[in-house]
Structure 1
Amino acid sequence: MDKQNSQNRNNHFWKSFFGGALGSVITLIVAAVLIFSSAGNIPVAYMQEDNTPSEDSAQTLVDFESAIIGAVEKTSDAVVSVSNYQYVSSPESIFSYYSGIDLNNTEETLSLVGQGSGVVYKIEGDQAYIVTNNHVIEDAEEVSVIMANGEVIQAQIIGADAISDLAVLQIPADQVTTVIEFADSDAVQVGSLAIAIGSPLGSEFSSSVTQGIVSGVDRVVPVDVDDDGNADYDMSLLQTDAAINPGNSGGALVNKNGQLIGINSSKLSSTQIEGMGFAIPSNEVVNIIGLLEADGEVIRPSLGVSTYNLNEIALRSRVEVLGLDENTVDGVVVNQVLPDSSADKGGVEQYDVIVGMNDQPVTNLSDLRKELYRYNIGDTVTLNIIRNGENMQLELVLEATSSTPTTNQN
């Protein structure tokens, strides 16, 4: 009996031992798995599922990549590099001194001074037409175009406009294989895919492609047309975060269908700014290139006055000469009225202060030009002015001016 009891006790001990040991092993395994999953913040049951892209997400990635590749294939051959050549004076060699040659004599050589991009948009007969930025070809003596296949072709400048910063070139059509298709820029939405194609830093990097989105529409960006340090005109531009670098100017900004939504023109650049590029909307491009093809310039309405911003005038002059309240700083002061101009015929006088046009406020020269260029030659507008401290209204019939205004002339 004692022997039987002893054997039962031994059996009970080993069952308890193995049961406890097995329970401990299971507990340790569960704990280890829980610790591992907690450390990765991944639920154990979903680890494999979460680390494997779903069929839908993989398909979305393929569609996105295909859209970019398709747009580039459709468009890239229409984007070219544009080279600006000018005569540059260079002094004679220092060794000329010992030959008795005057070192003040210089010779001019035709040199490459800058490169940008352009977009082929039309073939007509045996000629093709390219749009680029005015600042890409400004002051050029000669312009050449490097096609996507590397062929170099001499180009003719058909017309240019400093205010819109657009220009039209013409080349023989025999090397052209692709022309761009224009999109309706008024239908462009913020967040839409935007693909920039051009020649950043020059033709060495021609046909470079960067991708982003449309970051904003109708962005008002002041431009200095005459390089006097003052804004002459406010442009309404598309904003994109697609990388735009020097040399991209004049290149294409296209949508997912390879259609042109804008001509890349500028960017904001500083150590505190990233991804703020701008493009001239395609609808504005279509309008301006039509005018440049027809006349070689954009003929805009003019008042026929030279002006200053009121806030640039000294307080004493504002009060004693112009008859204004000392707190009045918004407006444009007429310094000179050109004979037989719209302003002269409409009764504008020297020292009148223009504060509005057709009841739209005018605070500075940029505002004045923006309002003025809303109208066509022959339109009648009403100027809101202050003369000797008195508010007045004058009616003017707008006449023509050249495409590039001189300093402070409107």
Structure 2
Amino acid sequence: MGLFDDDFYSTRVRRRSRYWPRGSSRALGLRPGSTLRIALISSLTSSVLVAALFLLWGGGGRSPEPESMPAIAGGQSYVETSERIISASEKVRPAVVSIINLTTQALELQEAGDFEEGELPYNTSMGSGVIFKKQGDKAYIITNAHVIQDAGEIQAVLVGGERKKATIVGKDIITDLAVLEVGSDGINTVVELGHSDKLRVGEMVIAIGNPLGFGDSLTQGIVSSTKRIIPVSINQDGNYDWEQEVIQTDAAINQGNSGGALVDLNGKLVGINSMKVADRGVEGIGFAIPIDQAVPVLNALMEKGKVSRPYLGVYTMSLGYYLDGIEMNGLDDPDEEEGSEDTGEPREETDGEAFEPAEPVVPKGVTKGVIVLEAVGPSLDAGLKFNDIIIALDSTAIGSTLDLRKYLYHSKKIGDSLKVTYYRDGKKHTLDVKLTEKADAQE
């Protein structure tokens, strides 16, 4: 007899156990059918455990994707970015027009019957524009001033192909901006202005315009620089007489894109395409005028048809060009938008004979400044003369025509007094000039 009354701890062996093989279920004390139940329970337990581990380790109830889309900065997929480009272009394209400039020469050829109806003369120029305002029965278009240069007749071609005759509201060649006016019938889209100051290097942008006459053309790229400073030859005579702050982008900008829209992926206008570096071996460098800088100019053009700036009234050339032996074949006017032109004729005549002007007297050691080629208006009234060499305005040294123009436009206002330091016949002098607004007759 065992120490305990129950069979669990008993040393006795049941008589029936001898009939079952060792290791069988009956030998283990299991009844028939127990094995199947254990297998089912084990299978269910394993399934529950696997599901719990999947949820715990980030399954989150989401179905696994066979392939994940590559992402760009900010977590946006390429598919999402492509859709934003499409949406932005659909939003802006109806507000972008092609500009056809029938120059005076082109009109003469057309009137002479040298071209069939609908055929454009060979010297017709083309560009782009952006509808930025609609008021009553008029709509207003931004473009570049150089796009409408020497215009005889200007036409704006809408995205649907309709042509409208345009008139010039105003232009400013310093900033290369102009505003055109057309009838508003058929125009339902006006571009939304963005903020160029909020652009970031690397941000994707879209250029829309009329390159090479292919209207309603779209290219994309990134912002390479938000504030690139480049020198500009306003009169295209090879002499730099202004500096422009521009947006640099690698979006393809070709001939005809000038005046078109540079927009962000929200479909907002951030720049006006203006220039392209197209030298040999250079690609992917385009420039646009920042819209935040353009808006004050556009407002002035809408209000007065021009941008009023302080007027000194001197035709000059940089002293450095003279000292380097450069001929005076393109005279820069630092404060006349249209500049001046050397006709090759003598400046004065005496008794019917040509008079050759005297050379300026350049003091020893003076290498920077501007030579006065002609004084008119305020500078003439103050006493400046031909061959005077201006070396400073107020207390700011002036080394070139570019320096003179930048100081006038950035530091002075109409009505201000300006102290001019100059050399005449080798001797230093100073005088005061009261800056005025240029009269329309002086344009």
Q: 1:206 to 1:292 in 2, by over 3 A?
A: same
| Residue 65 (structure 1) aligned with residue 74 (structure 2) | no
Could you tell me how far apart the structure 2 residues matched to 1:160 and 1:244 are?
22
Could you tell me how far apart the structure 1 residues matched to 2:103 and 2:324 are?
46
Could you tell me how far apart the structure 2 residues matched to 1:242 and 1:315 are?
39
| Residue number among 372, 382, 395 corresponding to 1:334 in the alignment | 372
Q: TM-score, normalised by structure 1?
A: 0.73
Whether contact under 8 Å (2:69, 2:78) holds in the other structure is: no
Deviation at 1:376? 2.6
Higher helix share: 1
Deviation at 1:77? 0.9
Q: Residues 284-319 of structure 1, C-alpha deviation per residue, up to 9 Å, x if partnerless?
A: 321222222222233322211222211232489xxx
Deviation at 1:360? 3.5
| Residue 78 (structure 1) aligned with residue 95 (structure 2) | yes
Structure of larger gyration radius: 2
Compare 144-153 and 374-383 and name the one that shifted more: 374-383
What is the number of residues matched between the two proteins?
A: 336
Alignment of 1:171-250 (within 5 A): 171-202=182-213, 205-250=214-259
Higher strand share: 1
Q: What amino acid sits opposite 2:175 in the alignment?
A: S
Q: What amino acid sits opposite 2:171 in the alignment?
A: A
Q: What amino acid sits opposite 1:222 in the alignment?
A: P
Q: What amino acid sits opposite 2:399 in the alignment?
A: T
- Counterpart residue number, 1:395: 432
| Residue number among 122, 138, 142 corresponding to 1:131 in the alignment | 142
Could you tell me how far apart the structure 2 residues matched to 1:55 and 1:237 are?
33
**3-state SS of paired residue (1:214):** strand
Whether contact under 8 Å (1:162, 1:403) holds in the other structure is: no
Higher relative contact order (CA 8 A, sep 6+): 1
Q: What amino acid sits opposite 1:382 in the alignment?
A: K
Q: 1:64 to 1:140 in 2, by over 3 A?
A: same
Could you tell me how far apart the structure 2 residues matched to 1:394 and 1:189 are?
46
Q: What amino acid sits opposite 1:372 in the alignment?
A: L
Could you tell me how far apart the structure 2 residues matched to 1:288 and 1:220 are?
18
Q: What amino acid sits opposite 2:398 in the alignment?
A: V
| Residue number among 309, 315, 320 corresponding to 1:306 in the alignment | 315
**3-state SS of paired residue (1:351):** coil
- Counterpart residue number, 1:295: 304
Q: TM-score, normalised by structure 2?
A: 0.68
Instruction: Extract unaligned runs of 5+ from structure 2.
Output: 1-63, 326-358
Deviation at 1:153? 1.4
Whether contact under 8 Å (1:87, 1:108) holds in the other structure is: no
**3-state SS of paired residue (1:175):** coil
Superposition CA RMSD, Å: 3.1
**3-state SS of paired residue (2:211):** coil
- Counterpart residue number, 2:47: none
Alignment of 1:271-282 (within 5 A): 271-282=280-291
Whether contact under 8 Å (2:144, 2:177) holds in the other structure is: yes
Q: 1:56 to 1:210 in 2, by over 3 A?
A: closer
Could you tell me how far apart the structure 2 residues matched to 1:334 and 1:151 are?
50
| Residue 324 (structure 1) aligned with residue 363 (structure 2) | yes
Q: Residues 190-233 of structure 1, C-alpha deviation per residue, up to 9 Å, x if partnerless?
A: 2222210111111xx22211111121133222223333332232
